[in-house]
Structure 1
Amino acid sequence: MPEPHPVFADPGFRSRHGVLAGGYGHRDDPDDPSAVLAMPLVLHIPKAEPPARSALLEAVAVATVALCLDPRVGAGEDGGPGEWQDAFLAWNDARIRKVSRRARGAQWRAVQEIDGVTVDRGGAQARALVPGPVGDLDPRIARLQIGGTDLPHDDPVDAPAGVPVLWVNAALGMTVGKAAAQVGHASMLLAGALDVDSARAWAATGFRCAVRDADPGRWSELAVGVEEGAGVAVRDAGFTEVEPGSMTVIATVS
């Protein structure tokens, strides 16, 4: 008899999934702005050969949800607490803020030494890092640029059947950094919305997903689907780029 996929044999997965299923934002922001918690997302954007925008956003989405369900953020394979558990749970209990930064060359190599998860999708690479206070960043993260770099919209082929799709609201004109944070939100919200067996099955695929732009017509259809329970929507707090309450990404499972 073949061995089960490791994620199905992981006794701590149910507990970690339960954290995502339980939602977030249960605690008010601290009075000290520097104590606000955020998950850094590092986008590998080389100057000479930058990745396709959609592939990079897929890498970000996968890296985010992979970190959120990693044994190190909760009950591990041995049932004991993971080394990233306290930091992750503190962040998940607050607003799920994410801050995207770009890296290339030596900067990208340096961030591989910081706790997190790196994902490569078709040569596009992103790393989700363990959350922490925005005022106490590792210098290797703090020196990375937040804005100033964007990628052109591409036109990838239709998403494969059966693969979750994270639809980005094209009308909002989000930069790649803003869109990265939003698809990161979407992937973890989708995982939490799935029942634990479906989440396990998704994890067994390596959290395979597709990111696609939705034009106004498709977006309207997707928004109706959200109201009918056929999708999970990200509504942004409006700190940057978009108006508060804007629906930025809708995740669907065909």
Structure 2
Amino acid sequence: MFDAAVLNPLLTRYASWLAMPTELTADTSDEDPEQVVLMPMVLRIERAEPPRRTALLEAAASAALAVCLDERAKPGGEWHEPVHHWISGRIRKVSRRARGAHWAAVQELPGRTVEVDGAEVRAFLPSRVADMPKELTRLQISGSELDADEPGPPAVGEPVLWLNPDVAMSAGKSAAQVGHATMFLAALLHGEHRDDEVARWSAAGLPCSVRVADGATWRRLLPGEDAETAWRRHGVAAVRDAGFTEIDPGTVTVLAQWPRPSATA
């Protein structure tokens, strides 16, 4: 039986996180970098034929959630403890890039690979930085930038992950943010006992559309502090960044919109 209970810790933090002051800061002064627990994500970016940026982000969004909803992450499964421990804290992610033999090597590590229109991303089992295998630590974090593309309208009946039109993010940073977004969507659905919808989404491969919002769409959907109303009226969950890298703390980076029933009829 399908079970998204591993996402429960997100429900207790989501609304309160959005309501925190906008000057929220990521205080890491007492943090040992080697003890940080995070989910590594590897973006396949071949030199000769790089993927389309949008397709790569869509693959990243699906891969991150795929690890969480994997059968092995359920209670009693071999992945449950590391996934639960990570979700119970800060759901930090780090994106690295790989090509050729390095991409092939990381396929042997525990995780899930998702491919969208030729773009591939593998999300891995969360772990302490100190425990990460050399196959991951040797990969570069920088250099993941890709040119913007024109993907067209979002697919009907799929969740849409709207990127903030006023915030510039690298492909690696964006990949982490859309990975947060799909997790929030699944957690909110699970909290409303809508696991059947999450199960159907999972069975379909967790497809989603990533698009840069226009200003009007962003302002209409932005929930501010009223996360409950935004979810109830628009099916929208917001990703608010802690400011560890690239952008200011408290910035809303992604608005994830679950499709309304009429959109799939």
TM over 0.5: yes
The alignment-based identity, stated in percent, is 48
Residue segments in structure 2 that go unaligned for 5+ positions in a row: 17-26, 260-265
Q: Does 1:61 align with 2:61?
A: yes
Looking at structure 1, the residues matched to 196 and 255 of structure 2 have their Cα atoms a distance apart, in angstroms, of 22
Looking at structure 2, the residues matched to 134 and 82 of structure 1 have their Cα atoms a distance apart, in angstroms, of 22
Looking at structure 2, the residues matched to 53 and 133 of structure 1 have their Cα atoms a distance apart, in angstroms, of 28
**Superposition map of 1:220-235 within 5 A:** 220-224=219-223, 228-229=230-231, 230=234, 231-235=236-240
Check the 8 A contact 1:35/1:134 in 2, yes or no.
Answer: yes
Superposed CA offset, 1:110-141 (max 9, x none): 00000000000010000000000012210000
Counterpart of 2:243?
238
Counterpart of 2:136?
141
**Superposition map of 1:69-88 within 5 A:** 69-75=69-75, 81-88=76-83
Residue 90 of structure 1 aligns to a residue whose secondary structure is helix
Looking at structure 2, the residues matched to 248 and 147 of structure 1 have their Cα atoms a distance apart, in angstroms, of 20
Looking at structure 1, the residues matched to 97 and 45 of structure 2 have their Cα atoms a distance apart, in angstroms, of 6
Superposed CA offset, 1:11-33 (max 9, x none): 252544546555589xx988433
The residue identity in structure 1 corresponding to 2:200 is A
Runs of 4+ in 1 over 6 A off after TM superposition: none
How many residues align? The count is 238
Superposed CA offset, 1:158-209 (max 9, x none): 1121110001113111000000000000011111111222211211221111
Q: Does 1:115 align with 2:110?
A: yes
TM-score, scaled relative to structure 1: 0.87
Superposed CA offset, 1:210-246 (max 9, x none): 1111133321122159653220000000011111010
The residue identity in structure 1 corresponding to 2:154 is A
Residue 39 of structure 2 aligns to a residue whose secondary structure is strand
| Larger deviation, residues 129-138 vs 226-235 | 226-235
Residue 166 of structure 1 aligns to a residue whose secondary structure is strand
Looking at structure 1, the residues matched to 107 and 97 of structure 2 have their Cα atoms a distance apart, in angstroms, of 13
Check the 8 A contact 1:65/1:187 in 2, yes or no.
Answer: yes
Residue 251 of structure 1 aligns to a residue whose secondary structure is strand
| Larger deviation, residues 191-200 vs 41-50 | 191-200
Counterpart of 1:163?
158
Q: Does 1:175 align with 2:180?
A: no
Counterpart of 1:13?
3
Deviation at 1:64, TM superposition (A): 0.7
Looking at structure 2, the residues matched to 220 and 206 of structure 1 have their Cα atoms a distance apart, in angstroms, of 30
From the superposition, tell whether residues 136 and 183 of structure 1 become closer, same or farther in structure 2 (CA, over 3 Å).
Answer: same
Looking at structure 2, the residues matched to 153 and 185 of structure 1 have their Cα atoms a distance apart, in angstroms, of 21
Aligned counterpart in structure 1 of residue 96 of structure 2, from 93, 101, 112: 101
- In terms of fraction of residues, the more helix-rich structure is 2
Looking at structure 1, the residues matched to 64 and 144 of structure 2 have their Cα atoms a distance apart, in angstroms, of 21
Looking at structure 2, the residues matched to 38 and 62 of structure 1 have their Cα atoms a distance apart, in angstroms, of 17
| Larger deviation, residues 200-209 vs 91-100 | 200-209
Check the 8 A contact 1:17/1:196 in 2, yes or no.
Answer: no
Check the 8 A contact 2:10/2:88 in 1, yes or no.
Answer: no
Q: CA RMSD in A?
A: 2.2
Residue segments in structure 1 that go unaligned for 5+ positions in a row: 1-10, 76-80
Aligned counterpart in structure 2 of residue 247 of structure 1, from 252, 255, 260: 252
Residue 158 of structure 1 aligns to a residue whose secondary structure is coil
